[in-house]
Amino acid sequence: MEEILDINPEAYKKDYIATAGAPLDKESPKATRDDLIAALKTVSDPEIMVNIWDMGLVYKLEQKENGDVYVEMTVTSPMCPVAGELPKQAAEALAATKGVGQVEVKIVWEPAWSFDMLSDEAKEMFELF
């Protein structure tokens, strides 16, 4: 007899927040927005092999006066197998950037991700496949 699993997609939409880093020394200069974007570009979706920035998965990137960074991002699907890993990797990549304090990366589900959110560079990569 085949077992039927009751998979409720809403169960995957629970709040998920990843954190990393430590308070930035008040004397330390803050990272630039370009530094933050470069850090996010080091994190790739392993199934698609495109970084999360060019995938359009990052919806909000905010740096506070004290150097702390807040990110809202999504994943391609609530059932994405790396949904819990990508925010953690993003938080760690940002926290490893010089001039960044504490980092909080939150998964959000609105708006839903679509291929329209890909950067032009990422769209070109998909056309190669």
Tokens standing for residue 93 = 């990549």
Q: Does 115 reside within a domain?
A: yes
- Decide if 10 is inside a domain: no
Has residue 69 been placed in a domain?
A: yes
Q: Evaluate whether residue 31 is within a structural domain.
A: yes
* Domain tally, the chain: 1
| Whole-model pTM over 0.75 | yes
Could you give the dihedral angle defined by the CA atoms of residues 73, 79, 85 and 90, in that order, rounded to the nearest 10 degrees? -10
Does 39 map to a domain? yes
Which residue in the block uniquely carries the two structure tokens 């709040």? 15
Q: What is the pLDDT of residue 123?
A: 83
Q: Note whether residue 111 is domain-resident.
A: yes
**Enclosing domain of residue 86:** 17-128
Confidence check: pLDDT of 114 > 90: no
Burial track 29-39 (b if 16+ CB lie within 10 A, e otherwise): ebbeeebbeeb
Neighbours of 114 (CB within 10 A): 9
53 is a domain residue: yes
Residues in the chain: 129
Is 7 within the bounds of a domain?
A: no
Q: How far apart are CA 57 and CA 50, in angstroms?
A: 10
67: CATH: 3.30.300.130
Split at pLDDT 50, 70, 90, the class of 84 is confident
